Amino acid sequence: MTDINDLFAQLPIGEIAKELGVSKDEAAKGVALALPALVSGLHANASDPKGAASLLTALEGKDTSLVDGGIALADVDTADGKKIVKHIFGAATPDVAAKLGGASALGSGMMKKLLPILAPIVLAFVVKQMTGSKDKTTTASSGGLQDILGSILGGATGGGSSSGGGIGDILGQVLGGAMSGGSSKASTGNAITDILGGLLGGGTK
């Protein structure tokens, strides 16, 4: 099982920075907050039976092509990304974008543009962890899905296998060192929840 550090390392941060019109450092900080927020939102949905059923149905329609052989922004369908973000955060989407944008210093507008770029990539990554291959031959139960999402999120604590400069280190910078030295999966979830003010409710769909 690979985690969020592995996904972060695959992302073309330079391309994302160019797309947003910001520096590479600013883009990296925004992504370092947006990725765990998206995974946390998926985890919150998976914790509710109706939300889990809806999420599993959505995942069944996705493949892993976005994260196979290198990630290219040209392959990302941002229109689909907007639908995914809405599915994850529901009516709280504008507030989520505003709070993440404020915490990362990208601002709400840039975060609204970033989330739909990352959302399809995150779903493809989740599907790959569910199947372990390009062929989607297995299906996760709601409980299994929560475990998978929890394992993916674990890397953002800084306890992942990546060396310096990983998502945990960047989160530590963005959050004023609050994440530094963290080793539990809960610490990341708590930090993101603190930023979002409890907006990650389960089962938005």
**Is residue 171 situated within a structural domain?**
yes
Q: Residue 131 has which token pair?
A: 């199947």
* Domain containing residue 121: 4-196
Q: Is residue 201 part of a domain?
A: no
Instruction: Give me the number of domains the chain comprises.
Output: 1
Nearest Cα to 189, choosing from 144, 140, 149? 149
pLDDT tens-digit profile, the chain (205 residues): 578 888 999 999 999 999 999 999 999 999 999 999 999 999 888 888 888 888 888 888 788 899 998 899 999 999 999 999 999 999 999 999 999 999 888 999 999 999 999 999 999 999 988 886 443 434 445 558 888 888 888 755 444 443 345 676 776 676 664 444 443 344 555 667 777 877 776 555 5
pLDDT at site 186: 41
The Cα–Cα gap between 110 and 26 comes to: 11
* pLDDT confidence of residue 200: 74
202 falls within a domain: no
Q: Is 186 part of a structural domain of the chain?
A: yes
Provide the pLDDT for residue 162.
39
User: Distance (Å, rounded) from C-alpha 104 to C-alpha 16?
Assistant: 15
In a domain, 123, yes or no: yes
Residue 177 covered by a domain:
yes
Contact status, residue 30 vs residue 116, Cβ threshold 8 Å? no
Structure tokens at 82: 């907007």
